[in-house]
């Protein structure tokens, strides 16, 4: 082995919420874990859109458990608390968790350190080297040049699935028409008088938005302004500026959308100050470093979760996390923002582990927003709490695969589910959340 080659049990590609879950879970199982993250932070979309609430953590108002619950509790128990549960102001969404972005990120770094994860930031996984149906190595690069990781198991948590796609996993882009959800750039307004700003119940500030669009001061896609209270008093999180038709796996397109988004955010901040009561003394802060990309590749797994599965409230024998998120569609093609209920009131579905495994590559799993799902199911399964728990499941499965010298496709999934339940993931197997 040269200095630019390393052996490891598990290579996690991407340090978003899914990669965080995968790396911590595998590290806690005593495995050597290398986590390669292309940017300088963990969190993925959570880092790109700082302050975005963790939605979907409470199907039927019960926490899903696992690492999400542990992380939330660590933050809630700080003095002063750095996270809290609150009601979401949008219809069909359950309660959400709002947190201090910097403290949450720091705590995630600490949990990775405690789990013994070798974190390679500012490093990109480029391509797999295949040996039959296995990934023998993954070529990576950082500013010092190329390096190669030789893992026993690869967990692709990159959101876009570059390594899975290059290892031969079939995929489609976006929905059946190939159209992907809009990307979004967020910011905060700081110094807002909450009482006046939120005096009216409309979460979309529709009448102000209509005025701004009619007067050509806001982009037409800003007909709904989604403004919500931030974690700290007097802050408002603006998750409103969407850019359509961006191919999230084309870095140049993402960079162009980010610059366009910055312009629209600035216009919106100026408009809020000028027109909306409570914002007169506020200023823009925490503008996203890049747009948050919702949807790119959809990988083909052993099982593909569908909208019908959700509507039936399916609870699979290999379900690894519960969910009741609505079908949260954001400006696909010429479409609008919709969040229709995915399941009947008071019920939920589970995400099967088989949607995290490819049919043929024996030492690969994929989790987070790249799991195998149709366009409807995708719009629901993609919440950060669910992504984190999918990662937790994959990290746990890596231990099982190594212990049994087994292909991922041959794992005892009942044992996996039992292990996750022991780790405090709720509502799996024969148990129920309610
Ligand atoms: C604008 C927006 C708003 C949203 N709102 C909410 C919300 O309010 N609540 C909620 O719960 N969910 C929300 N979601 C959904 C949720 O944020 C995402 O589905 C979730 O964060 C996806 O997590 P992930 O870990 O799968 O992927 P990502 O968060 O995309 O993370 C992937 C990581 O992999 C890294 N990476 C990619 N390729 C490579 C490579 N080749 N080598 C190394 N690293 C690589 C990236 O840099 C990134 O850090 C929103 C999403 C967006 C985009």
| pLDDT score, position 331 | 80
Q: How far apart are the first and last CA of the chain?
A: 52
CA of 294 to the centre of ligand 1 (A): 7
| pLDDT score, position 1 | 52
- Which stretches does DSSP call E strand in 214-326? 227-229, 235-243, 283-285, 297-299, 319-323
**What tokens does 166 get?**
């290059």
Estimate to the nearest angstrom the gap between the alpha carbon of 267 and the chain centroid: 28
CA of 45 to the centre of ligand 1 (A): 4
Q: Strands of 183-190's sheet, edge to edge?
A: 227-229, 235-243, 183-190, 283-285
Phi-psi region of 35 (alpha: psi -120 to 50; beta: other; left: phi over 0): beta
Residues in the chain: 434
Q: Which of 8, 6, 259 is nearest to 142 (CA)?
A: 6
Domains of the chain by start residue, with CATH: 5-176+295-422 (3.50.50.60), 183-285 (3.30.70)
Pocket of ligand 1 (CB under 6 A): 13-19, 36-39, 44-46, 49, 52-56, 124-125, 157-160, 162, 184, 292-294, 368-369, 382-384, 387
Q: Verify cis geometry, omega within 30 degrees of 0, for the bond prior to 80.
A: yes
H-helix segments, 276-326: 307-311
Location of structure tokens 């901040």:
269
For the CA of 293, the nearest atom of ligand 1: 53
CA distance 337 to 373: 20
CA of 211 to the centre of ligand 1 (A): 33
**What tokens does 213 get?**
């669009």
Q: What are the 10-residue block averages of pLDDT along the chain, 434 residues in total?
A: 84 98 98 98 96 95 97 98 92 91 98 98 98 98 97 98 97 90 96 97 94 96 94 96 94 97 98 98 97 95 97 97 90 79 89 98 98 95 97 98 98 98 96 90
| CA dihedral of residues 66, 69, 74, 75 (deg, nearest 10) | 140
Name the residue of 13, 16, 380 to mutate for ligand 1: max ligand atoms within 8 A of Cβ: 16
For the CA of 391, the nearest atom of ligand 1: 25
| pLDDT score, position 218 | 97
Estimate to the nearest angstrom the gap between the alpha carbon of 354 and the chain centroid: 19
For the CA of 163, the nearest atom of ligand 1: 41
Write out pLDDT tens, residues 394-403: 999 999 999 9
- Which stretches does DSSP call E strand in 49-144? 83-86, 96-99, 118-120, 124-131, 134-142
Phi-psi region of 61 (alpha: psi -120 to 50; beta: other; left: phi over 0): left
- Which stretches does DSSP call E strand in 33-159? 33-36, 83-86, 96-99, 118-120, 124-131, 134-142, 145-156
Q: Which of 315, 302, 281, 428 is nearest to 365 (CA)?
A: 302
CA of 320 to the centre of ligand 1 (A): 19
CA distance 167 to 313: 33
Q: Which of 345, 281, 279 is nearest to 311 (CA)?
A: 345
Pairing of strands 124-131, 134-142: antiparallel
Q: Which of 78, 7, 71, 74 is nearest to 42 (CA)?
A: 71
CA distance 152 to 136: 8
**What tokens does 254 get?**
């993402």
């Amino acid at each position: 082995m040269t200095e630019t080659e390393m052996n490891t049990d598990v290579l996690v590609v991407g340090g978003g919420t899914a990669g965080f879950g995968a790396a911590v879970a595998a590290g806690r199982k005593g495995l050597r874990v290398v986590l390669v993250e292309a940017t300088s932070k963990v969190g993925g979309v959570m880092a790109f859109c700082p302050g975005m609430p963790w939605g979907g953590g409470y199907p039927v108002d019960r926490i899903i458990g696992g690492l999400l619950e542990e992380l939330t509790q660590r933050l809630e128990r700080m003095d002063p608390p750095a996270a809290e549960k609150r009601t979401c102001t949008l219809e069909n969404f359950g309660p959400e968790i709002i947190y201090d972005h910097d403290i949450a990120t720091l705590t995630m770094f600490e949990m990775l350190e405690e789990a013994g994860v070798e974190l390679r930031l500012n490093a990109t996984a480029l391509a797999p080297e295949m040996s039959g149906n296995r990934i023998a190595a993954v070529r990576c690069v950082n500013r010092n040049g190329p390096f190669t990781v030789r893992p026993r198991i690869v967990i692709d948590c990159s959101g876009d699935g570059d390594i899975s796609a290059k290892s031969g996993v079939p995929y489609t882009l976006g929905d059946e028409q190939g159209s992907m959800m809009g990307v979004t750039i967020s910011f905060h307004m700081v110094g807002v008088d909450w009482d006046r700003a939120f005096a009216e119940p409309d979460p979309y500030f529709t009448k102000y938005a209509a005025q701004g669009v009619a007067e050509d001061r806001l982009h037409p896609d800003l007909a709904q302004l989604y403004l919500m209270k931030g974690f700290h008093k007097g802050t408002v999180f603006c998750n409103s500026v969407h850019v359509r038709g961006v191919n999230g796996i084309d870095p140049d397109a993402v960079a162009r959308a980010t610059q366009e988004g910055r312009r629209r955010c600035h216009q919106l901040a100026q408009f809020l100050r000028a027109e909306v009561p409570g914002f007169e003394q506020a200023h823009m802060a925490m503008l996203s470093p890049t747009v948050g990309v919702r949807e790119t590749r959809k990988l083909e797994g052993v099982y593909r979760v569908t909208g019908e599965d959700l509507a039936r409230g399916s609870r699979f024998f290999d379900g690894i996390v519960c969910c009741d998120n609505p079908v949260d569609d954001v400006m696909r093609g010429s479409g609008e923002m919709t969040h229709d209920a995915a399941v009947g009131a008071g019920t939920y579905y589970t995400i099967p582990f088989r949607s995290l495994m490819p049919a043929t590559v024996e030492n690969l799993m994929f989790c987070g927003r790249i799991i195998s799902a149709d366009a409807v199911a995708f719009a629901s399964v993609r919440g950060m709490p669910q992504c984190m728990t999918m990662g937790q499941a994959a990290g746990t499965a890596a231990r099982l695969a190594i212990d049994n010298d087994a292909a991922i496709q041959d794992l005892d999934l009942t044992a996996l589910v039992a292990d996750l339940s022991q780790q405090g993931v709720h509502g799996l197997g024969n148990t129920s959340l309610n």
